[in-house]
Amino acid sequence: MRFIQMTLRLLLLSAGMMLWGSSSNSLAAAVQAGESAEQLKIVDVLFEDYDGWPSPRLQIKAGGEAVLNFRIEGFQRHEGRDAADFPEYRVSLQYEVELRDPKGVLVAPTKEEQIQHILGLRDDTWRPLVRWSEVIPTWAPTGTYPIRILVKDEIGDQQGEYSINLQVRGEALPAADTFQIERLEFARSLDGPWTPSRYFARSDPVYVHFKVVGYRISPDKRIWVQQDWTVLDEQGREVIHRENAVEDQLQEFYPPRYLTTSFQVQLDDPQPGAYTLQIALRDRIGDQIYSKEAVFNLRP
């Protein structure tokens, strides 16, 4: 009888061990499946405001610098051994950040970098921090600028993507398809105030300010515009002539949508009366010409 009881106990114990082992294996498999199912993610995506504090939104003036920080998580680690035979874990990530204007044109070259890192046993919560920055061109138009972040995990063979918008305040100048001068104005100093017509004292400096728009841009993003200036007195006599007074030859990744010109009209013997400023433009890339006249006056 005692032998039968012992046999039953051994059978029950064996069955329990088998059930526990099966349950343990299932739990381990579930944990492993949960780990392998972890997705690569871009998190904590925040701008730096004017004081350097993190912010989920940012509006800056054209010409300012946009700074964005983010972290990466959910990547896989390749296990190995170091020179002292301790376990180590290699991380291999690649990310790229691109900034586009409201029309979808790239504002700057896409930033691409690799993150190669070796982690130890205590680095299980390590998440790389990426800091991206870009200066917005002064000629950038007002609007919403999408920033796209793409991260690739080379070990886990997966990728993640995230988009965030930057608000830019540019100069309120409408796009122009016609080669021309916009906003020709006069002032007594480069600080203004600027007005389309002006009366000056004979001793006042005469400053001119305007924008050139509508020029063509070559396939390799070159701009070439020349300017001649002529000033006529009240009797129509030429008192100033400057051939190629300004020559803008530019090649920018994000070409300007307008060119700004400011200069001083310097008369050798200023006399009272009305003076006519003639400006002649030549667009060498687009084979276009344009001329404009504006009048300013010297008081007696």
Residues 166-187 have a mean pLDDT of: 90
pLDDT for residue 22 is more than 90 = no
Does residue 9 contact residue 17 with C-beta atoms inside 8 Å? no
Cis peptide before 272, with omega less than 30 degrees from 0?
no
Tell me: the pLDDT tens digits for 201-227? 999 999 999 999 999 999 999 999 999
pLDDT > 70? residue 163: yes
Q: pLDDT at position 223, please? A: 97
Question: Average pLDDT in the 75-87 region?
Answer: 88
Identify the H or E element spanning 273. strand 273-283
| pLDDT value of residue 82 | 81
Query: In whole angstroms, what is the distance from residue 239 CA to residue 269 CA?
Result: 9
Residue 241 scores a pLDDT above 50: yes
| pLDDT the model gives residue 18 | 43
Q: Is the per-residue pLDDT at 181 higher than 70?
A: yes
pLDDT at 28: 37
User: What is the reported pLDDT for 300?
Assistant: 87
What is the mean pLDDT of the segment spanning 63-71? Answer: 97
Tell me the average pLDDT across 161-188: 92
Residue-wise pLDDT for 249-266, tens only, equals 999 999 999 999 999 999
pLDDT for the residue 83: 82
Return the pLDDT at 177: 84
Q: Predicted confidence band at 15 (pLDDT cuts at 50, 70, 90)?
A: very low
% of residues, the chain, pLDDT over 90:
78
Strand partners for 158: 153
> How far is it, in rounded angstroms, from Cα 115 to Cα 40?
14
Complete domains list, the chain, with CATH: 41-169 (2.60.40.3880), 180-298 (2.70.50.60)
Is-contact 55 49, C-beta < 8 A? yes
For residue 2, pLDDT over 80 is answered with no
When pLDDT is averaged across residues 181-187 and rounded to a whole number, the result is: 96
When the pLDDT of each residue in the chain is averaged and rounded to a whole number, the result is 88
Residue 188 has pLDDT above 90, yes or no: yes
Q: Given CA atoms 102, 104, 110, 112 in this order, what sign does their dihedral have? A: positive
In a 10 Å sphere around its CB, with 0-12 CB exposed, 13-18 middle and 19+ buried, how is residue 42 labelled? buried
Q: Is the pLDDT of residue 91 over 90?
A: yes
| Residue 36 confidence class, pLDDT cut points 50, 70, 90 | very low
pLDDT of residue 31: 34
